[in-house]
Structure formats: C-alpha cells, structure tokens
Chains A and B, each alone.
Chain A
Amino acid sequence: MARDVFRISALFLAGALLALPGGAGAQALSPYTVVGDAIPEPLTRVRGDAARGRALVVERSSTCILCHSGPFPEQKFQGDLAPDLAGSGSRGSEGQLRLRLVDASRLNAATIMPSYYRVAGLARVGTPWRGKPILSAEQIEDIVAYLVTLRQ
C-alpha cells in the first residue's frame, strides 16, 4: 500500500517529464516511473520468477525468439533480427532491462522491438489484441527476473 502511494505520487510529481501511456485503455496498465534509461521499480508487488520468465521468452506467443536468439539449445527456431540475449544481464541493469521490455521505442524511436507494455499510440491493432499490452505486468517481471540471470 505505502509503496503504491509513493509510486503514484512520484508519477504525479514527475508530471510533464514523462510521456506515459495515455488514452482510454491505458488505465488498465500499472503506472511506472522512468528514471534516465531505466524503470527502477518493479511493475508488480510480487517479484518476478526467473524460471517462468525463461519459459515465456521461448514461447512463440511472446514473440521474443522470433527476432532474438539466446542460450536456448532446445529451441530449433530462433531469429537473427536482434542481439543474442545471452549476457543481457551483464549489459543492462534490472531497471534498464525493464524499460527495454516495457517500451523500447523510448530508447530508440526507430527500433523494431515492440513495446510490450503499452496500449497507447498504436495503430490499427487487431480486434483480439486491442486495448491490451502484449505482455502483462507479471509476465514482464518474470522475464526481467530471467534476463538479469543471463550473465557473461
């Protein structure tokens, strides 16, 4: 509870500095605060689970390994449009990885990496996906928990 209050007021204070997701559907998303190039605070109160995170990353519906490869010897089909995920945890902090997943387009407007926790500013989203982020806050936290373990 206390933490929620803190986060909401932090958000309020940060005001115009933050271009947070707006629009009707956005209310369903947990608020978050961007500090520099990171989201230091988790999106959920419960910590992410790295084992679930790994399972999510290799699942086709999460779309990660359409583009990325990684330390997944059991996965026959991996993409090569994006950096290998091995060593992600050495290259970025937990907060930096979180912002990458939530909205990579803030870091690189031209990136092809989708924004996994955003519903505003999208165009022509298909009916089954409309108004929903690609991944839930819990799923983002699970994946972040997994990515930080990928050290080199």
Chain B
Amino acid sequence: MRFAGAIAIALLIAVPAFAAEIPPADRRSGYDFMKPDTKAMQDEDTANAGMLWVLDGEALWKRKAGAADKACADCHDDVSTSMKGVAARYPAFDKATGRPIDLEQRINACRSNRQQATPLPFESRELLALTAFVARQSRGEKIESSTDPQLAPFIEKGRQLYVQRQGQLMLGCTSCHDENWDKKLAGSAITQGHPTGYPLYRLEWQSLGSLQRRLRACITGIRAQPYDYGAPELVELELYLMSRARGMKMEAPAVRP
C-alpha cells in the first residue's frame, strides 16, 4: 500500500524544511497569470476601473483641507516629478515613530501634521483615491523599498510572519506563494503574491482595495485571526513582500480577478 512509507518519511522530516525563495529570474507578477481580457483591462486606462479612483485622487490632491487650509499640491508641486517612484520605496522608515509606515500611513501623516485635518479611515474612498493617484506616478518604476538599513529588523519580522504557519488550516504564506505558485486553488491561479499593483481593482471585490485588504483576505482564508488595519504586523508583511519583489515593476492601479 502506498501510504505505508509515510511514517518513515515523517520521522526523517522532523522539522519542515524552509521553502526556498523564488530566484529573481523566475519572479512573475500576478499580471502574468491573468487571462488576456483581464490584462487588457489593466493596460487600457479607459477600461481600467482603478483609474476612476486615480481621477478622484487627483481632485483630492488639489483640494485644500484641514486647519492649515493647504492642498497636497501646495507642498508637493508637480505630482509627476515629486511623486515619481515614491510608491516603489514604501513602506519606508518613519523617524517619528521609529518604525516602517506604508504609503497610506504616510499620506495620513501629511494630513494630520501638514494639513491639520483628521486622518482618513483605512479603505475609505478618499484614502484609496489619494494612494492610487500617488502610486500611479510610479507605474513602470522598479521596486526599491527596503534598502534603508534601519528597515532590516522589520523585514526580518515580516519574513517570519510570512513563513509562520497559522490558522485553523495551519498554512503559511509560503505554503502557497513560494511552494505552489504554479498551481491552482479550486481553479484560480495562486501566483507568487507580489505587491506590484496596489492599490488595485479586484473584479471579485468590484472595488479598489489596498494591499492590507488583500493580506487580511489571505489570512482569513487560512482561518487565522486577521490583524487590524494599520497593525505593525501588516506593515512588516508589506515590507517583506516589497523586499521580495525588489526590482520588479510597479503597476498600480493594477487589475486582478
């Protein structure tokens, strides 16, 4: 009987082996796994629903807000130069808190400190719109987050969260995105889980969503307790994912099935 060997094998593998990281030459964006019609949606600005948020973001960028009565544009000049490549460098080290913060948190820091306005809630239309507008300025730029040496301990924490098995199903991110990215989970491509397209329009959500929303969905999928929006663990995961995708091209706002 074929099952008979299993016990002997189990004794040999007392500790699960660490999954090897994907070699740079084999890294592929989620885009590569999509059907041609979904790719076309992402490629054509007129078909890409994420562009609606980008347009909203542009309006918000120019609108004065808060006690300071200043718009983002008042401090940052021409967005296509001032914001070019910025999203490709986040999460970044924040001196004020001594921790990495992601792009949404950076935008909210500007709102609180510079505009003296109330921070925007995570996943609110406004925050997604501003983030999409800023991220859009990095389309085609190579991801270079995580080069700051102060980030190293946080990247390592993110990596530990990524390989840790958790939830009622006791799976780790690595179980799917490193070990099984060429396979299908109930018919849908698993992909390598690269963060190149965020915020992105997901057909399943019928909305734009942040990377944190995606991570919380994967965590709930393995029936683990999702971290709250803005939790240090989610930012560390984002940071690790960006370091894992270093050199890949930004595609925000991407489209995914």
Contact = CB atoms under 8 A, between A and B. Distances in A.
A binds B: yes
A33 interface: no
Interface in B1-58: 1-4, 6-7, 9-10, 13-17
Contacts of A76: 187
A125 B224 contact: yes
Interface string B155-184: 000000000111111110001000110011
A123 B10 contact: no
A105 B171 CA distance: 12
B188 interface: yes
Interface in A118-148: 122-129, 132, 134
A126 B10 contact: no
Interface stretch (A9-17, A41-49, A63-71): A63-71
Contact of A107 (B7, B183, B185, B224): B7
A107 B184 CA distance: 24
A62 to B, nearest CB: 12
Interface residues of B, number: 35
Contact of B225 (A66, A81, A124): A124
B186 A60 contact: yes
Contacts of B113: none
B132 to A, nearest CB: 29
A73 B223 CA distance: 28
Contact of A79 (B9, B14, B187, B223): B187
Contact of B7 (A36, A77, A81, A92): A36
A77 B257 CA distance: 15
Nearest to B220: A126
Contacts of B223: 125-126, 128-129
A147 to B, nearest CB: 12
A15 B147 CA distance: 53
B13 to A, nearest CB: 5
**Secondary structure call for the B interface:** loop
Given A109-B13, A109-B14, A125-B225, A77 B167 contact: no
A124 B188 CA distance: 26
Given A91-B3, A114-B171, A126-B224, A80 B164 contact: no
A110 B165 CA distance: 11
A69 B169 CA distance: 18
Contacts of A80: 183-184
A96 B16 contact: no
A108 B6 contact: yes
A129 B223 CA distance: 7
A112 B6 contact: no
Nearest to B16: A110
A133 to B, nearest CB: 8
15 contacts: A36-B7, A37-B3, A66-B186, A77-B186, A79-B183, A79-B184, A80-B183, A91-B2, A92-B2, A107-B6, A114-B171, A122-B167, A124-B167, A127-B225, A129-B168
Interface of B: 1-4, 6-7, 9-10, 13-17, 164-171, 175, 179-180, 183-188, 220, 223-226
Given A108-B13, A129-B167, 19 more contacts: A36-B7, A37-B6, A37-B7, A66-B186, A67-B185, A77-B188, A80-B183, A80-B184, A81-B180, A92-B2, A107-B6, A123-B224, A125-B166, A125-B168, A125-B223, A126-B167, A126-B168, A129-B168, A134-B168
